[in-house]
Structure 1
Amino acid sequence: MKRVEPVTTKAQLEAFIDFPHDLYKDDPCYVPELFIAQRDLLTPGKHPFHEHSPVQLFLAYDKDKVVGRIAAILNKNHNTFNKTEDGFFGFFDAVNDGEINALLFQQAEQWLRDKGARTIIGPANFSTNETCGLLIAGFDTPPFAMMTYNKEYYESLLNQIGFRKKVDLIAYRFGEDGYDDKSVRVKKALLDRLQSKGITIRPVIKKNFEHEVARIREVYNSAWDRNLGFVPMTEKEFDYLAKDMKMILDTDFCLVAEKDGKAIGFALAIPDINQLLINIKRGRLLPFGLFKLLFGLKKINGIRVIALGVMEGYRKLGIEACFYGTIIEAYRRKKFKRAEASWILEDNDLMNNALLHVKGVPHKRYRIFEKAI
């Protein structure tokens, strides 16, 4: 008997987190999420998202076997900021079974309708500030850090029940030498010109991390506010994310642009921690996963450029090029072999053209879907 139940117990939450490990057990590109991180993310009182927005998890069963999962998410901050009545789905995984898929979404959609949502959008875990998007092209390699991965048949499952494309997100790949280094060559001249305007670029100072994070949050919530689906992060949400980032942060890849001491832009690239997580069985750090993580950090040979933004009024002055040049210099110095810039909205012509100009190769495509409910 196939059925769907809301997650109400710790045992069900554990099953919800662990289901993908079984579904993808024979997939060489699957990277398990860390159990403790997923548990905290999904637990009210642990992650600050739950302070302003309700989430309901559901599990699908075939007899007593878990065969699917989904989260229904009512992001109140998103709806207030964008003046919409949207609901979201996330953490979606399922066997290739149309009946199971339909049952999962029926429950999620009904829960959202009961709370006043008119549209369901996703996948988003919980919003575009976290991991989001369904992989629809580029299944031949594992995802970079903090990017999603899924079965190829998911797109068909969503189309079968009426979901349609909202927007695509593009990931660009760079090899060891496969990039244009013009930004490195012109960096000194650009920095001199910026300095004459009172603008400087420097690495984040870890010793002053809390103060740095507060200033970067202001830039983030300003520089990305016109992106589709954007919602400002609360202070607690940004601090939570920053705390996780700090553990793997390399300040050579975390840069701040300042004008007379005020932060006006920042760039962040993170080590591709997925190179290590792919070997952490079922996402458990104990008893041996922690050692793999700690001793493997120096072996990482890739980065993901996760954010690069400048506040309006300071764009096209050369700050972006200086960010790229500085990151490329560090990439060379550390002898890294690969990089990804992701994700970029398909209609963000400025960023897409810039990445193509420096010889970025589009190698993965993710899709956000929507449906009226």
Structure 2
Amino acid sequence: MKKIIPVVSKKELAAFIDFPHDLYKDDPYYVPELFIAQRDLLTKHPFHKHNKLQGFLVYQEGKVTGRIAAILNNAHNEYNKANDGFFGFFDCINDQETADLLFKVAADWLKDKGVTGRFLGPVNFSTNEPCGLLVKGFDSSPVLMQTYNFPYYADLIDKAGFDKDVDLIAWHWDGNNYDDKSVRLLNALQERLKRNNIVIRKINVKNFKEETAKLREVYNSAWDQNTGFVPLTDDEFNYLANDLKLILDGDFALVAEQEGKIVAFGLALLNYNEIFKTIKRGRLLPTGIFKLLFGKKKIQSLRIYALGVIDGYRKMGIEAVLYGTIIKNYTARGLKWAEAGWTLENNTMINEAIIAIKGNPYKTYRLYQKQI
């Protein structure tokens, strides 16, 4: 007998967060999320000020067999002039009845909130956070802030009546196997930018609050044409920025500035998932904190997380200089491989540019949709 309940109490929230640890306990590629980070995401994130989320759990014979969150993203609906609902935090045993129960309870909750448009996901809360179902590239662990799931999830979602909305591509570089043209031309490109009073510099962590305000403007401007994009509020961007500040590395956090105005930024992150993978059930205490503190020097990979240029400054060479600088520093640090992603499958310009520098499309994440 299956029983589905809404997540209300602290005990239920802990069960919601912990379920993937049990589901994936024998999977060599699974990376546990930090418990404290997931708890804060689900309860304290500024997203909750303007939007709604409700988690649900399926129990069978006293054990959790599935979870899902129904998400009403008012910012998405207002920005896109839509009336959509989302699902996220979806994890499930390989059982269609359980999956169907989860999707039904999430859809019913959204209908009760007045949603009449599409039912989209998986997103944890929007495309600004980890999103997409892994449908290609199951032979390695996810990098920092990317999703992971069993291959059978796609069948569960397909049989629940969802169709593909769009695919997201992650790109891989192994060691020094990249086109170093952007590195070789770096000095010449920087000189050309200087003639337009554009300089590349590291993000100023000591003046982080002011930097963050400027970076938010670039972020919301550079990605505003992307499928599923939702502008971040001040509070949401500050929350993200403060999280990232804890793991920022100056060699990989760069901005392009023209006379005090930030017009672009490139951000790559050391792949802390290499450490998180060793932290049992995502608990920092009692020993996980030491793995986190002392494991940084052992990290061997990098995620190129974001690279954006505002309109009017594209095709000036800024992208090439940001990328070239990150690659130059990546090589100097002796890192073994890098991932860039994700990019939209229909972003032909950026995808062709990545292919030209020998990026390998090694993972695909899918967003699904159906009528509510």
Choose which of 107, 112, 115 in structure 1 pairs with 2:113: 115
Question: Aligned AA for 1:292?
Answer: K
SS of 1:165 mapped into structure 2: strand
TM superposition score normalised by structure 1: 0.99
Which residue number corresponds to residue 79 of structure 2? 81
Aligned structure 1 segments of 4 or more residues deviating by more than 3 angstroms: none
**What is the CA–CA distance in structure 2 between the aligned matches of 1:223 and 1:39, rounded to whole Å?**
30
Which residue number corresponds to residue 65 of structure 2? 67
Choose which of 47, 50, 56 in structure 1 pairs with 2:48: 50
Question: Aligned AA for 1:60?
Answer: V
Question: Aligned AA for 1:64?
Answer: G
Please say if residues 32 and 281 of structure 1, whose CA atoms lie closer than 8 Å, have aligned partners that are also in contact. Answer: yes
**What is the CA–CA distance in structure 2 between the aligned matches of 1:231 and 1:116, rounded to whole Å?**
20
SS of 2:295 mapped into structure 1: helix
TM superposition score normalised by structure 2: 0.99
Which residue number corresponds to residue 297 of structure 2? 298
Question: Aligned AA for 1:34?
Answer: L
The offset of 1:116, in angstroms, is 1.8
Please say if residues 70 and 91 of structure 1, whose CA atoms lie closer than 8 Å, have aligned partners that are also in contact. Answer: yes
SS of 1:148 mapped into structure 2: coil
Question: Aligned AA for 2:142?
Answer: P
The offset of 1:277, in angstroms, is 0.3
The offset of 1:115, in angstroms, is 1.2
Which residue number corresponds to residue 235 of structure 1? 234
Which residue number corresponds to residue 248 of structure 1? 247
Which residue number corresponds to residue 40 of structure 1? 40
Please say if residues 167 and 345 of structure 1, whose CA atoms lie closer than 8 Å, have aligned partners that are also in contact. Answer: yes
Matches within 5 A, 1:89-238: 89-117=87-115, 118-238=117-237
**What is the CA–CA distance in structure 2 between the aligned matches of 1:298 and 1:206, rounded to whole Å?**
20
Provide, for residues 56-91 of structure 1, a one-character-per-residue CA deviation record: whole Å limited to 9, x for no partner: 000011131100000000000011011011100000
Asked if residue 29 in structure 1 is aligned to residue 29 in structure 2, the reply is: yes
The offset of 1:350, in angstroms, is 1.2
Question: Aligned AA for 2:280?
Answer: K
**What is the CA–CA distance in structure 2 between the aligned matches of 1:114 and 1:11, rounded to whole Å?**
26
Question: Aligned AA for 1:101?
Answer: A
Question: Aligned AA for 1:16?
Answer: F
The offset of 1:139, in angstroms, is 0.2
SS of 1:214 mapped into structure 2: helix
**What is the CA–CA distance in structure 1 between the aligned matches of 2:335 and 2:212, rounded to whole Å?**
27
Asked if residue 321 in structure 1 is aligned to residue 311 in structure 2, the reply is: no
The offset of 1:249, in angstroms, is 0.5
Question: Aligned AA for 1:299?
Answer: K
Q: Superposition RMSD on alpha carbons, in Å?
A: 0.6
* Structure 1: 5+ residue stretches without partners: none
**What is the CA–CA distance in structure 2 between the aligned matches of 1:251 and 1:371, rounded to whole Å?**
43
**What is the CA–CA distance in structure 1 between the aligned matches of 2:3 and 2:107, rounded to whole Å?**
15
Question: Aligned AA for 1:127?
Answer: S
**What is the CA–CA distance in structure 2 between the aligned matches of 1:276 and 1:152, rounded to whole Å?**
24
- Percent identical pairs in the alignment equals 59
**What is the CA–CA distance in structure 1 between the aligned matches of 2:326 and 2:61, rounded to whole Å?**
52
The offset of 1:171, in angstroms, is 0.3
**What is the CA–CA distance in structure 1 between the aligned matches of 2:339 and 2:295, rounded to whole Å?**
20
Provide, for residues 13-34 of structure 1, a one-character-per-residue CA deviation record: whole Å limited to 9, x for no partner: 0000000000000000000000
Please say if residues 3 and 103 of structure 1, whose CA atoms lie closer than 8 Å, have aligned partners that are also in contact. Answer: no
Q: How many residues align?
A: 371
Please say if residues 52 and 77 of structure 1, whose CA atoms lie closer than 8 Å, have aligned partners that are also in contact. Answer: yes
**What is the CA–CA distance in structure 2 between the aligned matches of 1:9 and 1:197, rounded to whole Å?**
57
The offset of 1:261, in angstroms, is 1.3
The offset of 1:147, in angstroms, is 0.3
Please say if residues 173 and 341 of structure 1, whose CA atoms lie closer than 8 Å, have aligned partners that are also in contact. Answer: yes
